[in-house]
Structure 1
Amino acid sequence: MTEFMTEDFLLHSRTARQLYHGYAETEPIVDYHCHISPRDIAENHRFSSITEAWLGGDHYKWRLMRACGIPERDVTGEESDLEKFTAYAKALSRAPGNPLYHWSHLELRRYFGCRQVLSEQTAPDIFHHCQEILECDDSLRVQGLLQKSRVRVLCTTDDPADDLHWHQVLHDSQFHSARVVPAMRPDRLMHIEGDDFSSYVEQLGESADMTIHTFADMCDALKRRMDVFAEMGCRAADHALDEVVYQPVPAASLERIFQKGLSHKTISSDEREQYLTGLLLFLAGEYRHRGWVMELHMGALRNVYTDMYRRFGADTGYDAIGRCCNIEKLARFLDHLEREGSLPKTILFSASPYDLMALTVLGASFPKEGIASRIQPGVPWWFNDTKQGLLDYLTIVSEETVLGNMVGMLTDSRSFLSYPRHEYFRRILCDWLGNLVECGEFPDDEAQLASLIHRLCYGNAISFFQFPCQ
């Protein structure tokens, strides 16, 4: 009988094992998109228990538990940490094939040296084992976890109006094993139809030390905030788009819509798209000017369960896959930017697995001399970062463009224990490459294979984002 999750887990050939253990395993990590807290890093937070580290804000795990009918008190409610941990273990036991099953066991092994299989029966022993380590081992405080995970660059997700205080604290601190930088995410500006739009615009103006009266003023405020972000090392901006937009209008029409938003007047669907188009065209041009990467996260259908959204808020496990991306609009948007000389390096993510080939082919239609894969598909995101999702990505990207140019894995996580997701990706990558070699579809050239592994695990992300890190 095959042993569960050996050191050769997911590595099914001699070449795969050689590539992973010889090269991929020790490559550093660039986490160019995540949702972890810069404050927790600056304060070197110590987790009170593995339950806090695992279930504190991780809607992946919450979703799994709720799917098993586990009461909310055991998910986010008032039950003890041990009871919540045991409830998660009970749910996990029902989930063979789910990436959480593998991720959770990798995390137990890599951070706690625990090789037991997690189940409802073993949960108490594992919980107490982890508790003892967390209480006495400083390497499992947040900064130690990043160092243990070999994280070299980490991009948090930050609102333009954020004062970046905790990034400044980190910048001035003695913590140097990972470069922690902000990535700008101006999502609150996207919702011109929202009740809090005008108050947020006022907040943005205050953060930029100016008053915003017009759309042009807002653009000036954003430029000022981008200057501050750049001083903190920002190299990327991210946008969550429920759907792709492209409906440009003259500046006068854009201003009229902006004023309606400030005055809390009803915004039509066309006006919303026109405003978003104008805002995104401006922002993309600024990103190009500054050499930043634009990340577009598309295709999510958010907050579908109204009662639970009202109870818990956004990003709590009640989201779904929306419509496929409007590739025609996206092409016109990118082409508009290119014709104006404003198209930045861009990564296209979709929550829909059906978009991957279309996004891959579209990105390859906008080449640029001197830049490898300037517009490229992101690795499988959210519902798709599974074993099969990663295999589909490797196959489609390799067949439709140049796999060796891609920037590799990210966590997109709120958990400091999530870095074994990079290990998961690397094992699947090495197995996929190893299979090509073993089948005679790619040469058994160790130097060439080692170069590919380095680029896809670390090197491409450094060069694409131009992080000052070797």
Structure 2
Amino acid sequence: MSTNFIHDNFLLENKYAEELYHNFSKNQPIIDYHNHLSPALIADNHVFSNITEAWINGDHYKWRAMRTLGVNEKFITGDASAQEKFLQWGKTVPYTVRNPLFHWTHLELARYFDIYELLNEDSASKIYNEVSAKISTPEYSTQNLLAKMNVEMVCTTEDPTDNLEHHQKLASGNGKLKMSTAFRPDKAILIGNEGFNDYLNTLAEVAGVEIATYADLITVLTKRLSYFHENGCRLSDHGLDQIYSVSFTESEVSNIFKKRRKGAQVTDEEALKFQSAILIFLAESYHEMGWVQQFHLGALRNNNARMHRILGPDTGWDSIGDLPQAQQLSDFLNRLDSSDKLAKTIIYNLNPADNEVFATMIGNFNDGSVKGKVQLGSGWWFLDQKDGMTKQINALSNMGLLSCFVGMLTDSRSFLSFPRHEYFRRVLCNLLGDEMKRGELPDDMEWIGKIVSDISYNNAKEYFNF
């Protein structure tokens, strides 16, 4: 066996795991049904100028690690050169042991650039030059980077104001890669946000309809939903702290919206009523159009007010929240199910303490109409690592049917993040292989292999029907 840290049987601890991975999972195409990649960079087949542009810029996972080690912000988001930033990352990597960054870093170097040398302070300069020389050529354009990982479909995430020109551009070409989008209208939901009215003005301008009343907002969102649907969108996505589902009346919501539109602040109770109303409207619309709805729940965002003022959102100041999730989520799903307006639904949990809560909740609304209609989403953000994946798999297995699971996604802004699918597949195969070895699962490679293949690719292919 190779002495490389990353080798053929990395994370695979016995012959069963090895056979499951190599024969049933490794070569399956990737459907990455949720990410934050730039559709412009995909459609334009962008070529990066150096590895830092592709790998470090915008990656708040790496930024948090570098800050923890004491690296000055100049070398993270500041004005240091690309090479200087990479050298500081190289210096940081050895200290990330037992953080998923250590595994991801070396998987990505191996899979994209055939580099199996460990990245550290001594090797950083050499690796920077070698990788930058490769990634700055057309062979490593964005579409080719995706092709290297056998990516069949990517689904980016866009605001209702987006014109989807880049999706249209890629769709008009003759390439093999398919790109869809997920409709993410959170800025129209979070009425208490400081920029809410400014956002609605922009949304109104895009739609060509004035938004003065709640009825106007519904009209505009309906118009944008139709536009997205016409351009191939079949998914929505929401990144919320929790589901909003309290009692409201139409007159209450109209008055709350009118109050906010005039520039006044709304109370927490008023905000919750409005957010519940708009979320129910959207969810019913998704069902009518045959979409899949996704809810990413449980993040506590922008904790560091000082750094948020300096750098803005999505720069590494978020964490796991401990908000109550069960009751409003149950009320929300029950209201939709009671009127037969519950779309296919994926619920992603960020707090590991809530894994079993979410895993049992999905079983309440799987009604036999669709295989895996309501899904417990893969471990995401802080939980898309070996331990988080294992806990999510175990909770789903114990409380539901792992065999119906639609599998992994990147949820990433990085074009070099797709070995996370491999990482997940190895973790899955090792978990099942270990239980086969111990006799907890039957020694039936074809059957367990089929389940692995389904989770790796087939279930997502069927569920999303791209």
Between the aligned partners of 2:325 and 2:120, the Cα distance in structure 1 is: 43
Instruction: Determine the C-alpha separation between the residues in 2 that align with 1:284 and 1:419.
Output: 30
Task: State whether structure 2 residue 284 is matched by structure 1 residue 288.
Answer: no
Task: Please say which of residues 411-420 and 372-381 is displaced more in the overlay.
Answer: 372-381
* TM-aligned CA deviation for residue 129 of structure 1: 0.9
Separation in structure 2 between the aligned mates of residue 445 and residue 370 of structure 1, nearest angstrom = 29
> What displacement does 1:199 show?
2.5
Indicate if the aligned counterparts of 2:6 and 2:116 stay in contact, CA closer than 8 A: no
Taking the TM superposition and a 5 Å limit, the aligned residue runs for 1:442-461 are 442-461=441-460
Task: Confirm or deny: 8 A CA contact 1:347 1:377 kept in the other structure.
Answer: yes
1:146 equivalent in structure 2: 146
Matches within 5 A, 1:71-470: 71-136=72-137, 138-175=138-175, 177-467=176-466
**Structure 2 stretches lacking a partner, 5+ long:** none
- Counterpart CA distance in 2 for 1:429 and 1:228 is 38
Distance in 2 (alpha carbons) for counterparts of 1:197 and 1:385: 31
CA distance in 2, matches of 1:13, 1:189: 50
Query: What one-letter code is carried by the residue in structure 2 that aligns with 1:9?
Result: F
Q: Which amino acid aligns with 2:445?
A: E
AA at the equivalent of 2:401: V
Once the two structures are aligned, what percentage of the paired residues are identical?
40
| Residues 24 and 457, structure 1, Cα contact 8 Å, conserved in 2 | yes
The Cα of 1:447 is off from its aligned counterpart by 2.1
SS in structure 2 at match of 1:267: coil
- Residue aligned with 1:93, SS: helix
Residues 341-364 of structure 1: per-residue CA shift (max 9 Å, x gap): 211111111221111110000111
CA distance in 1, matches of 2:133, 2:456: 33
Return closer, same or farther for 1:139/1:453 CA change in 2, 3 Å cut-off. Answer: farther
- Is this contact kept in 2: 1:183–1:235, CA < 8 A? yes
**Cα distance, 1:118 vs structure 2:** 0.5
- Say whether 1:8 aligns with 2:38: no
Give me the whole-angstrom Cα distance separating, in 1, the residues matched to 2:450 and 2:222.
38
Query: Which secondary structure state, in structure 2, belongs to the residue aligned with residue 315 of structure 1?
Result: coil
State the SS of the aligned residue for 1:156.
strand
1:460 Cα deviation after fit: 1.0
Unmatched tracts of structure 1, length 5 or more: none
Deviation sequence 1:391-419 (CA, Å, 0-9, x none): 11111111110001111001010000000
Partner Cα separation in structure 1 for residue 13 and residue 84 of structure 2: 37
Deviations 1:42-79 (A, max 9, x none): 11111111111111111111111111110011111111
SS at match of 1:152: strand
CA apart distance, 1:205: 2.3
1:320: Cα distance to partner?
1.1
Q: 2 CA distance for matches of 1:197 and 1:444?
A: 57
* Preserved contact between residue 293 and residue 344 of structure 1 (Cα < 8 Å): yes
Q: Whole-Å Cα distance in 1 between the matches of residues 190 and 399 of structure 2?
A: 35
Q: CA deviation at 1:19?
A: 1.0
Task: Tell whether the 8 Å contact from 2:4 to 2:116 is kept in structure 1 after alignment.
Answer: no
TM-aligned CA deviation for residue 115 of structure 1: 0.8
Give the alignment's TM-score, normalised by structure 1: 0.96
Q: Distance in 1 between matches of 2:328 and 2:462?
A: 29
Shift of 1:191: 2.2
Aligned partners of 1:11 and 1:17 also within 8 Å:
yes
- CA offsets, 1:150-175, max 9 Å, x none? 11111111001111111111121233
Moved more, 126-135 or 276-285: 126-135
Cα contact 1:139–1:148 (8 A) shared by 2: no
Q: Which moves more between the two structures, 412-421 or 93-102?
A: 93-102
C-alpha distance in structure 2 between counterparts of 1:112 and 1:443, whole Å: 39
CA contact (8 A) 2:297 2:348 kept: yes
Instruction: Give the Cα separation in 1 of the matches to 2:22 and 2:153.
Output: 22
Report the residue type matching 1:174 in the other structure.
N
Q: Distance in 2 between matches of 1:245 and 1:131?
A: 46
State the 1:96 CA deviation. Answer: 0.9
Q: 1:179-214 deviations in whole A, cap 9, x for unaligned?
A: 101100011112212332222222222222322232
Q: Normalising by the residue count of structure 2, what TM-score does the alignment of the two structures yield?
A: 0.97
Report deviation, 1:371. Answer: 0.8
